[in-house]
Amino acid sequence: MIIGKSKKEIDKMRTAGQLTGLVLQELKGLAQPGVTTIEIDRAAEKMIRAAGGLPTFKGYHGFPYSICASVNEQVVHGFPSDYELKDGDIFSIDCGVTLEGFVGDTATTVLVGKVSETWRALVRATEECLDLAIEQCRPGKHLGDIGAAVQQHAEAHGYSVVREYVGHGIGRRMHEDPQIPNYGRPGQGPKIKAGYVFAVEPMINLGTHHTKVLADGWTVVTLDGKPSAHVEHTIAITEAGPEVLTRVSSEQAQMVASTTRLAPK
């Protein structure tokens, strides 16, 4: 069952979403060559707790960390580790924050140092897929319109769309109905209504769409070892159209970080 949210609930989700977006912006800034992904995880947990939130991922079905840290061929759910980011990596950070009972969920893929044009283009197209998907998040559209927008754009560029992992409804729990695949047919599936809140998250691969899970039981990698990009926003559907709850401008993020306890050590 898809749980519609009241205006009041969406106000709370906006606050949670903005915090999640700010944390992600900060983490993005930390993702430099020579930094380990576990350092970024620790910074995330510290920032989230300092702001009065809870790292939603930590303990979720036993997931042991505050962020998912997926480098290069890792698609999603990567474990932060002592891996040092290096020039040319693409690094996806996925972050969830619970604040006053509501969850924000957002992800970005960071270009670390000087990244090849082929890989940059993959990340760019993945971001475009998300923008196109967000445009479909309007009352009267169908769930299939979201997936179709992602799939058409990705495949038009010669990329493939991951099938096994999908976006989702979000609210008091991180994963609510419905599932939101990144593929589909226009006009298919349930109608989108005002008050729904969705986490839309294209996962786009340079090569095959097939994936496998590593021995840690979580980290998803592409089957062919080619890179994958992942971006995500939490979006409220309003009568006026989509409102991206986790989007913050980098200027806003910088200002908040420099003037509040969100600033990492």
Closest to Mg ion by CB, 45 or 232 = 232
Which two tokens mark 207? 């090569």
Amino acid present at 162: V
Residue choice 105, 128, 176, 243 for contact with Mg ion (CB under 5 A): 105
What would the x/- binding string for Mg ion be over residues 180 to 219, using CB under 5 A? -------------------x--------------------
Q: Which of 104, 188, 193, 95 is nearest to 149 (CA)?
A: 188
From CA 5, how far away is CA 36, in angstroms rounded?
A: 38
* Footprint on residues 224-253 left by Mg ion (CB under 5 A): 232
- Around Cβ 217, how many Cβ atoms within 10 Å? 10
Q: Is 19 within 8 Å of 97 (Cβ atoms)?
A: yes
Contact range with Mg ion by CB under 5 A, out of 103-111, 116-124, 127-135, 236-244: 103-111
Q: Which of 17, 97, 27 is nearest to 60 (CA)?
A: 97
Closest to Mg ion by CB, 96 or 227 = 96
Total residues at the site for Mg ion (CB under 5 A)?
Answer: 5
Residue 176 interacting with Mg ion (CB under 5 A): no
Q: Is 212 left (phi over 0), alpha (psi -120 to 50) or beta?
A: beta
Q: How far is the CB of 106 from Mg ion (least distance, A)?
A: 6
Closest to Mg ion by CB, 107 or 253 = 107
Closest to Mg ion by CB, 55 or 195 = 55
Closest to Mg ion by CB, 176 or 232 = 232
What would the x/- binding string for Mg ion be over residues 52 to 91, using CB under 5 A? ----------------------------------------
Residue 94 interacting with Mg ion (CB under 5 A): yes
From CA 65, how far away is CA 12, in angstroms rounded?
A: 25
Residue with tokens 């924050």: 97
Contact range with Mg ion by CB under 5 A, out of 11-19, 37-45, 82-90, 94-102: 94-102
**Cis peptide bond N-terminal to 64, omega within 30:** no
DSSP per residue, 162-227 = -SS--EEE-SSSSSEEEEE-S---TT-SSBP-TT-EEEE--EEESS-S-EEE-TTSS-EEETT---
Q: How far is the CB of 180 from Mg ion (least distance, A)?
A: 9
Q: How far is the CB of 59 from Mg ion (least distance, A)?
A: 15
Closest to Mg ion by CB, 66 or 205 = 66
- Residues at the site binding Mg ion, with contacts judged by CB under 5 A: 94, 105, 107, 199, 232
